[in-house]
Structure formats: C-alpha cells, structure tokens
Amino acid sequence: MKYAHLYSPLEMGDLRLRNRIVMAPMTRSRAQQVDDNVSELQVNYYGQRGDAGLIVTEGVHPSADGKGYNRTPGIYDDMHTAAWSAVTNKVHDRGGLIACQLMHCGRVGHALNKGQNTRFLAPSALPAKAEIFTESGMMPMPVPEAMTLAEIKSVVADYQSAAARALQAGFDAVELHCASGYLPAQFLATGSNLRDDQYGGNLDNRLRFIEEVLQAIKFETGAGRIGLRISPGNPYNDHVDGNPKETYAALLQLANRLGLAWVHAIRMASTGIDSLALSREHFTGALIGSDSFDAGEADQFIAEHRVDAVSFGRAYIANPDLVTRFAVDAPLNALDKRTIYAGEGAGGYTDYPCLPEAG
C-alpha cells in the first residue's frame, strides 16, 4: 500500500484505531437551533465517514450557557443523549470509533446564537475583541460575567455530566476543546484571565480550571478515553497569552501526568511555535497532528514519529470516502466553501459523491 504508515493500526489509550486517518472536529452549523439537537442529518453525515480511524465531532456544548455559535449541538439533556446515540450507532455499524468534543465557549458568542436566559460566563469580565457570525450578520461579542467560585464549580460539574452523557450515548471517548479562545483557554491565557484568586495570576492557578475539568471527565471515562485539543499561540477569538510556549508546555505536562490518551495539536507556522514538537517534548501519549496535511505528508510525519495520527478537516467535508480515496490515490472532490456553514439541509453536507464501488 502506498501510504502504509497512515493505514497501520494505532493503540491510543483505551482505543484501537484501525487506521491513523482522523476526522477533525468541524463546526458545520446544522444542529436544530430551537433545541441544540442533532437529527438524521448528523446520523448520515458522521455515518458516511465511519471508516475513519477516529471521528472527533464538531464542538458540543456541555450546557446551554456553553453555546456560542449558531446551530451547534449540545449534550446536556436526555433528548440530546438519545439523539447522539443514533449517530454513534451508525458509526459503530461501520466499525468506526467516535469521540465527543466538549466545547464550552465562555465569552465567545452572541445572544442571537443562544437560548433565552442563558449567560456568558468567563474568568474575567473582559469581552473578546472579535466579531461572531449570527443569522443577522457579524456581531461584536458581549462583555461576559466574571465567574464566581460557585459558578466555576458548577461548570466543572456540567463538563462531568456531559462526559457521562457522552458515554451513555455510545461515544468511545471525549476530547476537551482547549484551543481557539474558548472557556478553558480563557482561564489559561493572561490576556483573558485577570483573576486574583486561586484561578488566576500564576501559571499553576491558571491551569487549575482545566485540571479540575479533566479530573471530572476522567472520573466518568477514565484517562484512556480523553483527548485534549490545543493550538499554542493561535490568536483566534482574542486568545492572547504573555508566554504561550511556556503556558502550553505546562498544559502538556498536566495532560501527561493525568495519563490522557491523546493530544490533538493544530500546527500554525504563523505563531512561531512548533506545536507538534512542543507536544512531543512534554507529552508521551499519542499525538494527532492537524491542519493542511495531505496523505503523503501525513504518512511521512507518522513514519518519522513526528505524530501518531493525522486529522483531516476540509478534505473530509467534501470526501466522505476519504479513507478509500487516499488508499487508491484517487482525486478529491472540491470543497464548496459556500455550504460549509449553510445552516440547514443536506446540500454541501451529506451530498458529496463517493467513488463508484468496484465490481
């Protein structure tokens, strides 16, 4: 086989991936806006891609407060658990594995994207200096509420409950989204965390919230079913830290002490930080590399032990049979950027063509 390393199995914590092609987490804005629920659309979408070594879902909010974007799904009530079960069953029917990415947006979002009586909670009352898409167009983000100690404890409990629901729904693992300026990253970064209590100030304090969340998730799933998504130095959503290399080295060391199954690192040359090398230096578990890989480069990085697996995003949007296309070196479908966040319907979501079956 041309890409033998990419198609080799991988032991990753408690999971055994049949290949090292991972479907990256991608917001697609297709959940039901009225109740944050997934539907038959998501059953088909994820099921089509069930031959990946691992699917990591789009960001899923662990509470109604945690929602930030338009038409993103939740996993905080019985309805959500039941609906996600149909998704995981479809993936498992194809022999695949699927992880639920938990994403609490914190200060990132807009009231037009959230339910009534929901709140914007963050480490400090500092708005993100950025705009966000709503169905009424791009809007500035609001000033959040600085979380009390009781509210921090409550949000940690929300993560734990969401992890328990993920297992009930049949997910094989959970990935904590700790990139892109969302709530865990807001606690981590000096630019968004101005607290003067045990959750702010020095680096150990700024890591405390993430450690408590990971410990809470670990209580439900065990460490061997937890991944961590990072992007050191990425300024998205006004994520600014005074020393991101030092900060993320400490986060990786925490992940290593807790025995997490994997780190999922986004590489961004523009940050000046080699996130893959940094992860290898401080984390001994499996490393998934992400962003702009093709099959050849992915296979080479695995062969050189620079990563253990590679996640593909845009290529997976347009090619539900990506595993097959890489295997036979077939051309890829072109991505229609107009339908990435189309909002509803199958167009640009589940209607990309697969290769004709042989025979």
* Angstrom distance (rounded) from CA 338 to CA 230: 27
* H helix runs in the chain, sequence order: 40-48, 78-93, 149-168, 183-188, 203-221, 244-258, 275-282, 295-303, 314-318, 322-328
DSSP letter (8 states) at residue 105: -
Helices 40-48 + 78-93 axis angle, to 10 = 30
* Angstrom distance (rounded) from CA 59 to CA 77: 16
Here the tokens at position 48 are 């089509």
**Tally of CB atoms within 10 A around 116:** 6
Q: Is 159 a catalytic residue?
A: no
Catalytic residue, from 3, 182, 248, 352: name it: 182
314 contacts: CB under 8 Å, gap ≥ 6? 335
Residue type, 217: I
On whether the CB atoms of residues 265 and 234 are closer than 8 A, the answer is no
Just list the catalytic residues: 182
